[in-house]
């Protein structure tokens, strides 16, 4: 590994030297190395020494020698970036299958959430690791109970793409009704299923008592005639349902002769002309059989469904996929239930499906969380069947590792107070570092010109409103002041200039950010509770494109969302 890193640094140093007339800059080489290999930041001290050593060596060569050496170097091997797979076991062997095939099968009734991401990421991980196949299957055959949304199909694909998941095949169950009908006809003809005419309450009584309903032993020919009446409109919703024959004495009543297809005349957003729809266990089992699914990663609430579907595979004389049941995922103080999300959205409680209070992938993306962070969190959970509660602190820590290196620093003062600094006699030029660990990014020079021995600055209310007279503050990258008075009503703080020297940490002097009134732009930050932190930011924020992650010093990492000449809006990501 060290040899590979050395080769990369040498190539980068030579490229930098050749580009700048034979002189390579260690800061530029370091920045480019860590920018493409952020995992090396954990070894920063060692890496800095290596970069300096190799840069000095390269700079000792003539420009001609540098060009010759660069031309001789072959392609450099990339630094290996092993995927963190704590708790990820091997897939159990699936007998009767020649290829590992998994499916992610969401109901398109809302956007994907962190909870939905768990099976999607796990299925994708195993499909890629084993050279298998991943199928995206939209389970949209419940137009009245879980009505699909036309736009949700696209939402799912977008969210998966953001996670880095590209399915090998995509299916829509609503396109496959004729297939489910064909299997239903076959099961009815072979006596594996029957058309039940019981009222729901009556069948529940038979189910509880473990007794067959009166229609269970109908002749197959009669079942086919009743089936045709379900299809042609003779029968109405609730009058008939196709049931799969199981064991009416099964210890779990929910397994006993479960319903497979029923009449449903609700409108569907994709197709029309159908009035009989498969229930979940029928369409799921038939599709798993047809698509040769070898492994199913599903929530533990599907344990009973696995038993129900086993009867279909027995009748088909086919191997059943291996089911791996996992626990639900929760996110602290966030909503993950799609039904609650869509209800709140329709009632206007949420500003959108990316409202920061939600646990949707769209909300996390808006807040600047990176897809590799979501993958890491999910893979760390492994295949545990226990419930998992994701803590925001963990998401913050993981995301900070990813975004810190590329997040430039800017100043923002929330609820600004005017700070008047007296006894200022000289012009001061502040050099605000764009990044404390990346000197190659340079500085933001800001000139402070005294007027009649005074300077006016803007600072955050929380930094000064409770400050006692005589207290000292350090304005970051600027100078020190001593507080004379604080007027909370007028938001005015008077102070005295107290030197340029940086105080020792042991002095206990608070370091605070600041903004020049003439270099300020109105800045709002959307917070996780959907409130806004309002204040003023430095004008450099106006030059940033939407989507850029920055760190507002002493406030937190934020994503730029809207920019105009007089206004900047950001979304808070994390501390």
Q: What is the pLDDT of residue 85?
A: 46
- Given a cut of 70, whether residue 1 has pLDDT beyond it is no
Q: What is the pLDDT of residue 82?
A: 45
- Given a cut of 90, whether residue 44 has pLDDT beyond it is no
Dist CA 408 CA 482 (whole Å): 30
Mean pLDDT of 346-363: 95
**Cβ-based neighbour number of residue 73 at 10 Å:** 12
- Given a cut of 90, whether residue 46 has pLDDT beyond it is no
Dist CA 373 CA 366 (whole Å): 14
Q: What is the pLDDT of residue 74?
A: 57
Name which of 571, 31, 118, 203 is nearest 376 in CA terms.
118
Name which of 265, 260, 324, 275 is nearest 298 in CA terms.
324
Helices (H), ranges, 210-323: 220-232, 280-290, 303-315
Give the tokens for residue 319.
């191997």
CB–CB of 238/200 below 8 Å? yes
* Residue ranges with strand state E in 155-225: 169-172, 193-196
Give the tokens for residue 205.
């009584």
CB–CB of 276/263 below 8 Å? yes
Range of lowest pLDDT (43-47, 430-434, 480-484): 43-47
- Given a cut of 90, whether residue 19 has pLDDT beyond it is no
Between residues 312 and 33, which one has the greater pLDDT? 312
Q: What is the pLDDT of residue 505?
A: 76
Q: What is the pLDDT of residue 37?
A: 77
Question: How many H-runs (helices) and E-runs (strands) does the chain carry?
Answer: 16, 26
Dist CA 206 CA 246 (whole Å): 14
User: Locate tokens 């019981």: which residue?
Assistant: 198
> Rounded to two decimals, what is the model's pTM?
0.83
Mean pLDDT of 490-498: 97
pLDDT band at 569 (very low <50, low <70, confident <90, very high): very high
Q: What is the pLDDT of residue 96?
A: 93
pLDDT band at 487 (very low <50, low <70, confident <90, very high): very high
CB burial class (10 A; 0-12, 13-18, 19+) of residue 279? buried
Range of lowest pLDDT (99-103, 156-160, 331-335, 413-417): 331-335
Mean pLDDT of 294-311: 95
Range of lowest pLDDT (64-73, 164-173, 200-209, 213-222): 64-73
CB burial class (10 A; 0-12, 13-18, 19+) of residue 473? buried
- Given a cut of 50, whether residue 81 has pLDDT beyond it is no
**Cβ-based neighbour number of residue 43 at 10 Å:** 12
pLDDT-above-70 percentage for the chain: 97
- Given a cut of 70, whether residue 391 has pLDDT beyond it is yes
Dist CA 4 CA 37 (whole Å): 12
What pLDDT digit, counting tens, does each position of 2-17 carry?
A: 778 888 889 888 888 8
Mean pLDDT of 205-213: 95
Q: What is the pLDDT of residue 15?
A: 85
Dist CA 221 CA 223 (whole Å): 5
pLDDT band at 452 (very low <50, low <70, confident <90, very high): very high
Give the tokens for residue 24.
């390579």
- Given a cut of 80, whether residue 80 has pLDDT beyond it is no
What pLDDT digit, counting tens, does each position of 219-232 carry?
A: 999 999 999 999 99
- Given a cut of 50, whether residue 84 has pLDDT beyond it is no
């Amino acid at each position: 590994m060290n040899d590979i890193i050395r080769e990369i640094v040498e190539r980068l140093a030579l490229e930098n030297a050749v580009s700048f007339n034979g002189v390579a800059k260690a800061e530029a080489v370091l920045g480019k190395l860590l920018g493409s290999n952020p995992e090396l930041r954990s070894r920063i001290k060692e890496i800095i020494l290596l970069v300096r050593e190799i840069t000095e060596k390269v700079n000792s060569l003539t420009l001609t020698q540098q060009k010759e050496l660069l031309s001789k170097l072959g392609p450099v091997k990339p630094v290996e970036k092993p995927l963190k797979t704590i708790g990820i076991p091997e897939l159990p062997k699936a007998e009767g299958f020649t290829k590992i095939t998994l499916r992610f099968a969401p109901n398109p009734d809302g956007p994907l959430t962190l909870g939905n991401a768990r099976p999607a990421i796990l299925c994708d991980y195993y499909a890629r690791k084993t050279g298998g196949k991943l199928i995206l299957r939209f389970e949209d055959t419940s137009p009245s109970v879980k009505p699909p949304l036309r736009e949700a199909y696209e939402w799912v694909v977008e969210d998966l793409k953001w996670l880095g998941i590209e399915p090998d095949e995509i299916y829509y169950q609503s396109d496959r009704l004729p297939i489910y009908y064909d299997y239903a006809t076959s099961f009815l003809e072979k006596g594996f299923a029957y058309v039940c005419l019981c009222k729901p309450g009556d069948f529940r009584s038979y189910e509880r008592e473990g007794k067959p309903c009166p229609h269970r032993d109908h002749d197959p020919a009669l079942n086919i005639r009743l089936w045709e009446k379900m299809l042609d409109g003779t029968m109405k919703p609730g009058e008939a349902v196709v049931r799969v024959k199981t064991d009416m004495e099964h210890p779990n009543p929910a397994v006993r002769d479960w319903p497979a297809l029923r009449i449903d005349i609700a409108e569907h957003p994709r197709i029309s002309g159908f009035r009989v729809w498969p229930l979940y266990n029928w369409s799921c089992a038939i599709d798993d059989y047809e698509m040769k699914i070898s492994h199913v990663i599903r929530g533990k609430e599907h344990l009973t469904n696995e038993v129900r579907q086993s009867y279909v595979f027995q009748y088909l004389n086919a191997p059943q996929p291996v089911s791996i049941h996992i626990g639900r995922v929760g996110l602290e103080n966030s909503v993950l239930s799609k039904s609650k999300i869509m209800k709140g959205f329709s009632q206007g409680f949420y500003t959108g499906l990316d409202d920061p209070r939600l646990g949707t992938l769209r909300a996390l993306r808006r807040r600047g969380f990176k897809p590799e962070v979501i993958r890491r969190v999910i893979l760390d959970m492994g295949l545990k069947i226990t419930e998992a509660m994701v803590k925001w602190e963990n998401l913050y820590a993981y995301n900070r590792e990813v975004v810190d290196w590329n997040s430039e620093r800017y100043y923002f003062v929330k609820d600004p107070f005017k700070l008047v600094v007296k006894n200022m006699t000289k012009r001061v030029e502040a050099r605000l570092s764009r990044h404390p660990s990346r000197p190659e990014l340079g500085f933001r020079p800001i000139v402070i010109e005294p007027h009649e021995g005074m300077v006016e600055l803007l600072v955050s209310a929380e930094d000064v409103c409770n400050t006692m007279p005589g207290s000292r503050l350090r304005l970051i990258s600027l100078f020190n002041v001593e507080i004379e008075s604080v007027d909370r009503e007028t938001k005015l703080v008077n102070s005295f200039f107290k030197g340029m020297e940086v105080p020792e940490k042991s002095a206990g002097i608070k370091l605070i950010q600041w903004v020049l009134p003439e270099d300020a732009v109105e800045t709002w930050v959307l917070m996780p509770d959907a409130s806004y932190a309002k204040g003023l930011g430095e004008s450099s924020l106006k030059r940033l494109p939407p989507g850029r992650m920055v760190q507002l010093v002493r406030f937190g990492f934020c994503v730029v969302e809207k920019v105009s000449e007089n206004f900047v809006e950001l979304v808070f990501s994390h501390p």
